Amino acid sequence: MIKVAFYDAKPYDIPSFEKYGKERNIEFKFYESKLNEDTVSLAKGYDGVCVFVNDNVNEKVIKELYSLGIKFVVLRCAGFNNVDVKAAFGKIHVYRVPAYSPYAVAEHAVSMLLTMNRRIHKAYIRTREYNFSLSGLTGVDLHGKTVGVIGTGKIGQIFANICKGFGMRVLAYDKFPNPKLDYEYVSLDELFANSDFISLHCPLTDESFHMINDESMSKMKKGVGIINTSRGGLIDASALLNQIKSRKVGFACLDVYEEESNIFFQDKSGHILDDDVFRNLLSMPNVLVTSHQAFLTEEALNNIADTTTQNILNYYAQESNENELCYHCSNIENCKRQRKQKCF
């Protein structure tokens, strides 16, 4: 029986992982605590750990996991900026789930755009209070508008295709453009200058960190709408708040936030938020926040558990796995070993 310590467990995680764990002879121990330097000792006696986006798998945690005999870290998500893959190389194998349900995230991004554009959230609150006035609920036709899509991986492609279905013009930017896609690839500056709406679907790297900042937003159209269902660190939240106050940004839809780790996935209704920037963003009438919810569909949860448990079995089978991460292939598209053998 393979034993895995499962950190930051939520009620919606458990059923699918119990199902696939039972089928594949993997026993999960579910901990509500996040993995960090204070909780790493909970992994003692296990073969591996399963983590999520807000677990902190830094160099010190990696060293402690290695000393405890941990053989692998499996992420039940696509992003891996919270894992020090360089520190893990040669010690602990790291795997991720690159595409659990790109439809879930893309559809959520579109739903946020539709909600903000047509003020659906405001109309819902009004009508429940018997206020049937239409004042202040005017939106715009999406048909004929231009949407800028930053990142044209699977999620970005689905989002772009949905927007095309609305009759929107799609401008695309990707560090590695896909010539097979029928998209109008442009530079970032051109995308910023010509987009009515901008949606982020790229990974968080040193290069993309705070790519949406005061300088980039100064290049955008007045009244631009910004949607982020990717990673919070792509946006400088303080700069976004300033640009909203100055009326440069028309609205923002945020499913992720740079400092979300101590906020999201928890009930904070009885607490005072210490994060002044986030609290001010929440107070804005043209800001819509969901708490990292974009992935949350039944299909996605099932696919995450399926792929994660299969990653564990592949480790024991000593097979190469395209889902493995390491110091040499943080850029998945340019893996030097071409996925023909394990990373080490």
Q: Of the residues 96, 231, 258, 324, which is catalytic?
A: 231
Q: Residue type at 186?
A: V
Task: Indicate whether 126 pLDDT > 60.
Answer: yes
Check if 129 is active-site. Answer: no
With a pLDDT cut of 70, the percent of the chain lying above it is 95
3 state SS of 191 = helix
Distances (CA, A) of 322 to 97, 282, 333, 342, 343: 10, 39, 10, 9, 10
3 state SS of 213 = coil
Q: What's the mean pLDDT in 41-49?
A: 98
Core vs surface per residue 287-315: b (16+ CB within 10 A) or e: bbbbebbbbbbeebbbbbbbbbbbbbebb
Tokens of 4: 């895995």
Q: Of the residues 292, 298, 322, 339, which is catalytic?
A: 292
- For residue range 271-309, list pLDDT tens digits in order: 999 999 999 999 999 999 999 999 999 999 999 999 999
Check if 201 is active-site. Answer: no
Q: Of the residues 107, 258, 260, 324, which is catalytic?
A: 260
CA angle 55, 56, 59 (to 5 degrees): 150
pLDDT at site 74 = 98
pLDDT at site 12 = 96
State the pLDDT confidence band at 154, using cuts at 50, 70 and 90: very high
Check if 337 is active-site. Answer: no
Q: What's the mean pLDDT in 108-134?
A: 97
Going by the DSSP 8-state scheme, the letter that residue 193 receives in this structure is: H
Give this prediction's pTM.
Answer: 0.87
Q: Which residues are paired to 235 by β-bridges?
A: 212
Those residues with Cβ within 8 angstroms of residue 32's Cβ, 6 or more apart along the chain or in another chain: 8, 9
Domains of the chain, first to last: 2-100+297-334 (3.40.50.720), 102-289 (3.40.50.720)
